[in-house]
Copies of this chain bind each other. A is one copy, B any other.
Amino acid sequence: EEQSQPAQGDPYSGDPPRHPALKVNSLKPFNAEPPAELLTENYLTPSQLFFKRNHLPVPAVDPASYRLEVEGPGGRTLSLSLPELKSRFPKHEVTATLQCAGNRRSEMNHVRPVKGLEWGIAAISTARWGGARLRDILAYAGYGGEETGEWHVCFEGLDKDLSGSAYGASIPYGKAMACEGDVLLAYEMNGEELPRDHGYPVRVVVPGVVGARNVKWLSRVLVSREESPSHWQQNDYKGFSPSVDWDTVDFTTAPAIQELPIQSAITDPPPSATVPPGELTIKGYAWSGGGRGVIRVDVSLDGGRTWHVAEMAGEEQPPGRAWAWRLWQLTAPVPTGSTELDIVCKAVDTSYNVQPDTVEPIWNLRGVLSNAWHRVHITVAQD
């Protein structure tokens, strides 16, 4: 068997070492984000600093015995070794941002307590991914005929809980099979083999879709009329009205999160910074799900009364396939006489969707989809 976890004792004792700069939200399972200021120093996040979101212990996978199982139509099962996966299908590369559904959850927690890890603004990162296209593998397995967008492609990971139950998720079949969907079974991240924390040896990368569907340590792929039966597909990673609480929630009433809404945040200056009078440079990121590009970022120094348009850096991507974030910055004069600044950012995507003004009305019991205007309050040093 390819998975060897410690037979006894701490199931997390086999986890890999991590970069000391990461801000840890949970050690077991390991969940951590980079310092926000470091996040926007690079368009491609260095893999060691890329946010880590593990639901379970990191499996130790032997690449020699690793097999990916792909269930074909009629129950025929394909079993692919790592060399087969790499040689039989053309390598495809995609620059894509992944964002945790819980990114910026801490802002919801300040409104009313939510259930989940206390993520700041950095549960989002961007990498260059390389691997086989999922559609090529599914076509090789025999798919491509009569199945429709209402089918689902289900994934299982090698990460398991103590009962032996694996992490799982699914995406719509249409997304998996679309030429322009760019879904990968990735074995490379930023030009190197996948790090263990990011799914070594093979993970799913579903550009434009919430992190939770980008299953790591992939063991099994199957096409189904139903979404993945996993806890994370059925009873988690869904959005609800602020009026719904844990006594009234019915998880069957909301769709599993797939594409994410427009998002942006300020990474620099950090909250509570003191800046000199004169000119101020503000930096951040902006991203939208579903391949929708970011067309504009508005920044305010006065809490949202007046706005400046930020400059955007980063690669332009094709229409409908803007999978990666845009980094932005604004250099503006600090209004003379001001002692404090309430900096705000909000982004607009190619469908002209915008971020909501405030957190309260999008609050939800699980603390997901936190994409209100981001605010940073700073002090201006007096001469």
Complexed CA–CA distance, A318 and B149 (Å)? 8
Given A296-B254, A352-B261: A346 touches B320 (CB 8 Å cut-off): no
Question: What would be 14 A-B contacts, judged by CB atoms less than 8 Å apart?
Answer: A149-B320, A174-B320, A255-B295, A255-B350, A258-B351, A259-B352, A261-B351, A262-B353, A289-B351, A307-B361, A346-B361, A354-B356, A357-B357, A357-B361
Question: Which of A150, A259, A353, A358 has most B Cβ within 10 Å?
Answer: A353
A353 contacts which of B241, B261, B304, B320 (Cβ < 8 Å)? Answer: B261
What B residues does A106 contact at CB under 8 A? none
**B243–A308 touching, CB < 8 Å:** yes
Complexed CA–CA distance, A318 and B254 (Å)? 16
**B362–A354 touching, CB < 8 Å:** yes
What B residues does A353 contact at CB under 8 A? 261-262, 351, 353
Question: Which of A295, A304, A354 has most B Cβ within 10 Å?
Answer: A354
Please, how many residues of chain A have a CB less than 8 angstroms from a CB on the other chain?
46
**B295–A254 touching, CB < 8 Å:** yes
Complexed CA–CA distance, A243 and B348 (Å)? 14
Give the shortest distance, in Å, between A166 (CB) and chain B (any CB). 26
Given A150-B318, A150-B319: A241 touches B296 (CB 8 Å cut-off): yes
The verdict on A172 contacting chain B, using a C-beta distance below 8 Å, is yes
Give the shortest distance, in Å, between A144 (CB) and chain B (any CB). 14
The verdict on A260 contacting chain B, using a C-beta distance below 8 Å, is yes
Residue numbers of A with Cβ under 8 A of B are 148-150, 172, 174, 180, 239, 241-244, 254-255, 257-262, 289-290, 295-296, 298, 304, 306-309, 318-320, 346, 348, 350-358, 361-362, 369
A239 contacts which of B150, B243, B290, B348 (Cβ < 8 Å)? Answer: B348
Complexed CA–CA distance, A289 and B296 (Å)? 19
Give the shortest distance, in Å, between A2 (CB) and chain B (any CB). 34
Given A254-B295, A259-B350: A319 touches B357 (CB 8 Å cut-off): no
